[in-house]
Structure 1
């Protein structure tokens, strides 16, 4: 099972393998206390896309389209496969992100793409 979670939430017994999917390290979180097994910053939206989006809910739909396009590039496809392989190896995988907005987060788009890949 692959799930998403804010990195600021408490570590859960069922988190399994924890992957940080943000390009930047989260503010106020020490590496020792983050319990991150892998920092896969390359799978995060590009800096240009992240800055363009600026967490503006009105840009959400277009952001999702642009991010899906980025995820369809070959390097990112490999990262999607890597996450699926880690799920097979560890059973539970938690994708961690720092954003406050739990509705307009790249983590949801990424999870959708991973699930689509396994369908």
Structure 2
């Protein structure tokens, strides 16, 4: 099982496998052709409220991660998480995000939960 996190702005690589965009909003300045996204499960992304709270600097990354994990327990998000987990059993999966620091983003939480 291979799960990677990459910025969506980086060019696709053959070892990416299935490319899953894990941001709720389409990244600015990236065409759909250039991004080569295979799946975009929007219900798997943090809620708008949680995203705004975190980006406003109102809480720590650890608190954000806990709140995001709670959101992922909702039925639709849990089903999508299982779907992506199933993809990882078939081959490599790359989680794509526009986050400037992917290691402290929701993509890192997803990677941990999928692994």
Same fold (TM over 0.5): yes
Tell me, in whole angstroms, the C-alpha distance in 1 between the residues paired with 2:64 and 2:14. 33
Q: Does residue 68 in structure 1 map to residue 62 in structure 2?
A: no
Question: 1:33 is matched with which residue?
Answer: 34
Question: 1:97 is matched with which residue?
Answer: 97
Give the C-alpha shift of residue 87 in structure 1: 2.0
Give the C-alpha shift of residue 32 in structure 1: 1.2
Give the C-alpha shift of residue 24 in structure 1: 0.1
Tell me, in whole angstroms, the C-alpha distance in 2 between the residues paired with 1:39 and 1:102. 17
Equivalent residues of 1:57, 1:104 under 8 A apart: no
Post-superposition CA distance 1:63-108 (Å, at most 9, x none): 011001111222111111100222233x011110001123321100
**Structure 1 vs Structure 2 CA RMSD:** 1.5
Shift in CA distance, 88/102, structure 1 to aligned 2, threshold 3 Å: closer
Runs of 4 or more above 3 Å deviation: 55-58
Map 1:52-67 → 2, pairs under 5 A: 52-54=53-55, 56=57, 59-67=60-68
Instruction: Give the alignment's TM-score, normalised by structure 2.
Output: 0.91
Question: 1:9 is matched with which residue?
Answer: 10
Tell me, in whole angstroms, the C-alpha distance in 2 between the residues paired with 1:55 and 1:18. 28
Equivalent residues of 2:53, 2:59 under 8 A apart: no
Tell me, in whole angstroms, the C-alpha distance in 1 between the residues paired with 2:56 and 2:49. 13
Post-superposition CA distance 1:1-56 (Å, at most 9, x none): 12111111121110011010100000100011110011111111000000011163
| More displaced 10-residue stretch of structure 1: 94-103 or 53-62 | 53-62
Question: 2:45 is matched with which residue?
Answer: 44
